[in-house]
Structure 1
Amino acid sequence: MVRRPSSLTLRLIVGAGLWTVFALIVVGVVLVFLFRQTVERSFDARLDVLLESLIVSAEFDRNQGVYLSGPMAEPRFEQPYSGWYWQITPRQGQVLISRSLWDRELRQNLAIPVPQPHHYYTMGPDDQEVRVVERDIIFPDAESSVRFAVAAVTTENKLEVTRFVRAIVIALGLMGLGLIGAVIVQVRYGLRPLRTLQHELGRVRSGEVDRLEGRYPAEISPVVGELNKLVEHNSEVLARARTHVGNLAHALKTPLSVLMNDSASEATPLAISIRRQLEVMRRLVDHYLVRARTAAAGQVIGTRTPVQPAVHSLKSTLEKIHAGRGLAISVTGGERLNFRGERQDFDEMLGNLMDNACKWAAHQVRVSIDKQDFELVFLVEDDGPGISDEQIETVFSRGQRLDEAIPGSGLGLSIVRDISGLYGGAVTLGRSDLGGLKATLVLPAAADAS
């Protein structure tokens, strides 16, 4: 099965090219046919003149029969096998031939009368194709008609047609190349608004602009308008989703808090069990509300977050929280880089990783930011105790904590993995050069700030 070209540009160029080639071939065939007809008519006119000269030069005598009163004006009639011949064939009597025929005669069908000049092709001496014009003439004193014929080889005609065909092929070939080149230019110029639209859509998706701007042709303007409405609708859907998620969070957390407070005053086994299950429920509510909000945000077009201001804001916050521990938090890289997503989700992911590093670090937390192709790579390292390979999956489990003494819900790394996955990114853990844990977060990059 032949696959059709998937490119609109290629389809237009191929389609126009095929029609151009077909049209030029048809034009070439018609021109060659007309030229051949013209050459043939011109050749026939020349033969007609020579036939008239032959008839005018002929005389008839009852005793002598038909004879020529003088030589023909065309010298090639006197050269043997020159390609130009004449022949006079009476119904009765001797056939007269030109010297160029030597000892041959032209093939004629005397059974069919030819009162008017008749042209046709036949084989002449040396098996050459010749063009013949013949006519029957009746002299006043003759008892029957006399057939006059003039013939000439068609080699010159064929050479002339061949030269014309070669010139036509070259001329139409150059014209075809020029037309195809013009089609390519026209198609690329005509489709330029689509390339502009593609570029502008990329800017909207990367967050550089929030709607499509610019002037477009009348055929594309309705599409641009619908796309702008789609972007606006997408933003409205996100806003409504966030509102509903916030309302749900408030509706769920309030009853949970009431139950926690009511059970806190009791020390019975049942109260302790209730408090544990309520804590698990609160963690799960937080976890799935974050996922729900992020799933909505991840589908929004045009979201874009500058990296450096967000990271430095997180650093400043964490330095205040852990001010009493004397931690040194360093940030390198991130200039003019942008995350293709929501600021709130970015703070959730990187903030969890940086907060986790600060909780376990002894003296130092290091954050490194780099861009590789279309992805942002964040390295968050600390000089704490680190974890073993067997513990990595445990810390990614929902609500699983390695040390209950460290504050937190135990959902941080699980939330980071879920949110980054929704954005097409990933988070991995390993051993840092500082001696502690190294968390690598990969996220999609947006266009750099100009």
Structure 2
Amino acid sequence: MTPSKPWHHSLKARFIASGLLLIMVLLPVIGFTVNQAFERQIALSIENQLKAYMYSVLAVTEVEDSQLNMPPHLVENQFNVIGSGLYALISDPKGKIIWSSDSFFDINAPELNSPKAGESLFYRIKIDGVKHVTYSFTVRFATENQLVPLTIHIIKDESDYQFQVDEFNSTLWVWIGILMLVLVVIQVVWLTWTLKPLNQFSDEITLVEQGKLTELNQSYPKELNRVAKQLNALLHTEKQQRNRYRNALADLAHSLKTPLAVIKSQPQLNKDSQEQLDHINHIIGYQLKKAQSVGSNAWHLGVNVNDTAEKLVRTLGKIYHDANKDIDYQLHIDNQQAAIFKGDSADLSEMIGNLLDNACKAAKHNVLLSIYSNAESLTIQVEDDGVGLTQQQQASIFERGARADTYQQGHGIGLAIVSDIVNSYQGKLQVGQSAELGGAKFSIIFSQ
């Protein structure tokens, strides 16, 4: 009986978490990579476009006697439209603009870079706060006397470029998000189908633990089928061994009690001999009950505690009513759902029955049996309104041979049997004072 495990101890939870982590990391990385590649491709396309514009301007540029001669209009019409967003400028080696296209009319000249002769630069600048891309190329014009270096600058508004990038980003991330949702759904469905045999295996083991099944009946994949067969074989073997063990104990009890009864019936036995025979009989009864306890080997058995408790209360009520003892029996079930004891029904009846029997003997008028059950534990409490137990009695009551009662009935081994059965199931047996009734309170606690 083990406590509930954290979520990460579940294979299904691990598979789903790892798959979700992979999707949440891998797809954004792919999206970011594709976005960066698209931006680089757009930038290269614009650079090539500006380079083509530069060559068209260079083709009509002439220098005579160190003087620049440009036609009144350029072939590309955007250079001729004021404020079109496409500009052509020519600067001297000192960076001074000596010519500009009509489209650059009434615009403040920006700071431009002048590369070395025969080299080009592609970069970004701002004109009146607006981002632009620029392609600058320096060329030397040969005149009769000297080489005249000039730099041609082609400037274009970046808004078109940025619009394409933003539009692509928006579309990309929308589809990335849709793809992530689709993959999550596919993964959950796939994992649910893949792990379905494991879930069935777990459900059947739970039913076996609760005593609703005696073996695993489902057909499993070959990886689990062998485990299921071995487990069924173990269940059958354990059941057969338990039955043989109990039958042998029953035969032993019958074999011992008959000779004892014969010896005890002899008239010549003195009082001391009779007491020793009674003691031997009590020891045999105690050891047989202890040996018959299934204990933690009965993990696959499941008993409804509520039903067993109700039957015992009704039975004891009849017994002590016939004994002319007026006792009010109360049964409190905290959780109306069936509380399951993972063990043998005989062991459960033995524990609750002995505690109720002791409580009836000690009680004046009231006995309370309470059942508390949740996912972590099962608690059974028996309380009475008798005189209770002293601290010394509480400390020694479970010691072997100790006896806290002075009743004429019974053998005085009930609590020892209860203690041994509880220990065999790795449970806890506690004794204290009843806050509600004032007498003794015995509590049995089992981990689920």
Normalised by the shorter chain, which TM-score bucket? Answer: 0.5 to 0.7
- My pick for the range that moved more, 373-382 or 10-19, is 373-382
Q: Give the superposition deviation at 1:352.
A: 4.3
SS in 2 for 1:389: coil
The separation in 1 between residues aligned to 2:58 and 2:86, in whole angstroms, is 20
The corresponding residue for 2:70 is: 68
Superposed CA offset, 1:243-283 (max 9, x none): 45445545665776677667x6254xxxx655544543442
Mapped pair 1:207 → 2:208: no
Contact 2:317–2:329 (Cα < 8 Å) also in 1? no
- What is the alpha-carbon root mean square deviation over aligned residues? 5.4
The separation in 2 between residues aligned to 1:402 and 1:65, in whole angstroms, is 126
Q: TM-score, normalised by structure 2?
A: 0.67
Superposed CA offset, 1:325-351 (max 9, x none): 567788776999676343433443455
Amino acid at match of 1:98: S
The separation in 2 between residues aligned to 1:433 and 1:89, in whole angstroms, is 104
Change (3 A) 1:275 1:397: farther
Superposed CA offset, 1:337-384 (max 9, x none): 6763434334434554566678789xx9987665433557575879xx
Q: Give the superposition deviation at 1:410.
A: 2.6
- My pick for the range that moved more, 24-33 or 74-83, is 74-83
Change (3 A) 1:68 1:280: same
Name structure 2 gaps, 5 residues minimum: 1-5
Q: Give the superposition deviation at 1:54.
A: 1.7
The separation in 2 between residues aligned to 1:336 and 1:25, in whole angstroms, is 47
Change (3 A) 1:45 1:427: closer
Amino acid at match of 1:410: G
The corresponding residue for 2:312 is: 311
Q: Give the superposition deviation at 1:316.
A: 9.9
The separation in 1 between residues aligned to 2:160 and 2:115, in whole angstroms, is 23
Amino acid at match of 2:373: D
Contact 1:368–1:379 (Cα < 8 Å) also in 2? yes
Q: TM-score, normalised by structure 1?
A: 0.67
Amino acid at match of 1:107: S
Superposed CA offset, 1:180-237 (max 9, x none): 4654555456545544443433322122222234455555444444443333333234
Q: Give the superposition deviation at 1:143.
A: 8.1
Amino acid at match of 2:216: L
Select 1:345's aligned residue among 333, 344, 347: 347
Select 1:228's aligned residue among 229, 232, 235: 232
Select 2:115's aligned residue among 98, 105, 108: 108
The corresponding residue for 1:17 is: 20
Mapped pair 1:8 → 2:7: no
Superposed CA offset, 1:125-161 (max 9, x none): 8898753253758789998687673421564366347
SS in 2 for 1:208: coil
Contact 1:331–1:367 (Cα < 8 Å) also in 2? yes
Contact 1:39–1:157 (Cα < 8 Å) also in 2? no
- Superposed, which structure 2 residues align to 1:65-214 within 5 Å? 67-72=69-74, 73-76=76-79, 84-87=87-90, 97-98=99-100, 100=104, 107-110=114-117, 113=118, 118=120, 120-121=122-123, 130-132=133-135, 134=137, 136=139, 149-153=152-156, 155-156=158-159, 159-160=162-163, 163-164=166-167, 167=170, 168-169=172-173, 171-173=175-177, 175-176=179-180, 179-180=183-184, 183-184=187-188, 186-187=190-191, 190-214=194-218
The separation in 2 between residues aligned to 1:372 and 1:354, in whole angstroms, is 17
The separation in 2 between residues aligned to 1:124 and 1:408, in whole angstroms, is 103
The corresponding residue for 1:284 is: 283
SS in 2 for 1:419: helix
Contact 1:339–1:445 (Cα < 8 Å) also in 2? no
Percent identity (aligned): 21
Contact 1:234–1:300 (Cα < 8 Å) also in 2? no
The separation in 2 between residues aligned to 1:81 and 1:360, in whole angstroms, is 106
Structure with greater Cα Rg: 1
Name structure 1 gaps, 5 residues minimum: none
Change (3 A) 1:213 1:25: same
Aligned pairs, number: 421
